Amino acid sequence: MGKRIHFIPILVLIAFVSLVGSMAATVVPNRGAHVGFYSTTCPQVEAIVRATVKSHFRLDPTVAPGLLRMHFHDCFVRGCDASVLLVGPRTERAAPPNLSLNGFEVINDAKSRLERVCPGVVSCADILALAARDSVVLTKGVSWAVPTGRRDGRVSLALEANNALPNVNDTIQTHRKLFKSKGLNTQDLVTLVGAHTIGTTACSVFKYRLYNFSTTTRSGADPAMNPSFVHQLRTLCPKNGEGSLNIGLDISTPNQFDTSFFSNLRNGRGVLESDQKLWNDPLTRAFVRRFLLKGSLGLNFELEFGKSMVKMSNIGVKTGTRGEIRRICTMVN
């Protein structure tokens, strides 16, 4: 089976998508960046990033959901400008929601390789966007064309990250308002949270749902949870345990990018409270249902995921003379 992929609650871009052959989604980008930005200045960029992500993934599959989450956390704070990569005691990277991010070494490695071939050309923000896409492909998801041309930001503040990122116990209304403020709609919310089909989270993140959630149920567990699932998770996450064990957010197929995450929500088997609320709220439940339906009434999750990722990856993009092209991703020039 290999190493289990590590997550991180991520709530984890619109353009038009068409299927290329039967495997890849090609997205026509909106304003801010465009597909093929480096076609003349660094035509090897996508191949180099893809090879780098693949080499790290072979050694440590946890980088796939890690990079996907990192891209989300970057875009929701100051836009998609690689500010999450900057190192410092008060940068975004030092904020509590970002302390469990992983995959930084992949971005640094890709940047080093690109600097040897195309010095001073490719931004760290674009590397992160490409790496997030490649992570989905490596976990058997469908590819999409990534618009590039972003520039890197020079400011990174931990306080902003604390205030801008969603929490696992927020209401759906709170999440919808947050996503709307970024130009993302309810379908984007459900689609991007679907990134939780890969990866894991620690028992400590959700254990309150198992023991101390409700005074109206005899067990004390969240009544939205399937009782058999409560029993399963309690076995894995005992009440007095240390809480560091990682559990698949998609308990069925935590290493594969698919729709079983949504099936789990329908069956009361969402690990995170905010995930399960997607089924409990009628506005978001409608999209969960459509991702599970076949035919004209259904939605193709993997193709829609590419659309929403492109839409998300254009939040607050810096182009032209704004920002810079960092020589090293962890520090400004």
Catalytic residues: 73
**Token digits for 151?**
């520039």
35: left (phi over 0), alpha (psi -120 to 50) or beta: beta
Strand partners, 34: 148
DSSP structure class, residue 266:
H
146: left (phi over 0), alpha (psi -120 to 50) or beta: beta
d(CA 131, CA 259): 21
Reported as half-sphere exposure (CB side, CA atoms, 13 A), residue 84 has a value of 34
Beta strand 200-202 with 16-20: parallel, antiparallel or unpaired? Answer: unpaired
d(CA 207, CA 288): 24
> Taking a C-beta distance cutoff of 8 angstroms, is the pair 196, 258 a contact?
no
> Taking a C-beta distance cutoff of 8 angstroms, is the pair 262, 304 a contact?
no
**Token digits for 329?**
């991703």
For tokens 């009440």, the residue is 239
d(CA 97, CA 165): 8
**Token digits for 108?**
């640094």
